[in-house]
Amino acid sequence: MSYSQSYTGYNDNRPSAPPAPDPGTGHPYPSYYGQQGQGQSYSSTSYGSYGYPSFPPGTHPDVIRSFQMVDRDRSGFIDENELQQALSSGYQRFSLRTIRLLMFLFKNLHDSLRIGPQEFAALWGCLGQWRAIFERFDRDQSGRIDAMELKDALYSLGYAVPDSVLSVLVSRYDDGSGCKVELTFDSFVECGMIMKGLTEKFKEKDPRYTGSVTFTYDTFMSMIIPFLV
């Protein structure tokens, strides 16, 4: 499975949404690695009429409109700032850090700094599903979820996050005030993309799901550094 393919397929961006974890039994190992489907690959961009890259069949007009609104030079590709602007119209304003993670995880093989219609449509669809899951766990509709809700929400996305990992993940949002850490949707997407990205990279090296991988120093460094966007 090529690196790019693992993020541009539709099914791959659709959470497997297992039932909420049973506290008694813990998490089943297979879902440990997140959703399994790899889906159809869009590792290369197809071009429609007039050479403008085309959206996948059935793409919602709002998605196409949001993309074309920011693609002012009609190049068929948008950069991180344009993506931030496009998502602001459909969802909300995401931090540039989250935007860069989204770009990194949804980019195609040929262009790491811009995304085309197909990547944009996949990304938009993924955010829609994540938004629904976020709202399901934001029980008091406060627009924020706490650590345990984050754990359950990530589990619904197919990631059974060990408590040791969860605490490290959540500590990044601790402002030191002593108040309970709560995450906005932006932070939830950031956490989810980190879990998705690192898990997929680990999974690539562990195709048989043994749960452990041997890395050389070069492989380790080359794999991690792209996440430090």
Which positions touch a copy of itself (CB under 8 A)?
32-33, 79, 112-114, 161-162, 164-165, 168-169, 171-172, 174, 176, 194-195, 198-199, 202, 206, 211-218, 220-222, 224-229
The least distance separating a copy of itself from the CB of residue 227, rounded to whole angstroms, comes to 6
- DSSP notation for 72-111: TT--S-B-HHHHHHHHHHHT-PPPHHHHHHHHHHH-BTTB
Check: CB of residue 34 under 8 Å from CB of residue 196.
yes
The least distance separating a copy of itself from the CB of residue 179, rounded to whole angstroms, comes to 13
CB closer to a copy of itself, 17 vs 165? 165
Q: Is 115 helix (H, G, I), strand (E, B) or coil?
A: strand
CB closer to a copy of itself, 179 vs 225? 225
The least distance separating a copy of itself from the CB of residue 139, rounded to whole angstroms, comes to 26
CB closer to a copy of itself, 127 vs 169? 169
CB closer to a copy of itself, 20 vs 224? 224
Q: Quick one: tokens of 175?
A: 């402002």
The least distance separating a copy of itself from the CB of residue 21, rounded to whole angstroms, comes to 16
Sign of CA dihedral 194, 129, 87, 65: positive
CB closer to a copy of itself, 64 vs 223? 223
CB closer to a copy of itself, 148 vs 168? 168
The least distance separating a copy of itself from the CB of residue 172, rounded to whole angstroms, comes to 7
Q: Quick one: tokens of 202?
A: 């680990």
Which phi and psi angles does 111 have, rounded to 5°? -145, 110
- 146 beta partners: 182
- 183 beta partners: 145
Angle of the 80-90 helix axis to the 96-106 helix axis, nearest 10: 100
The least distance separating a copy of itself from the CB of residue 215, rounded to whole angstroms, comes to 6
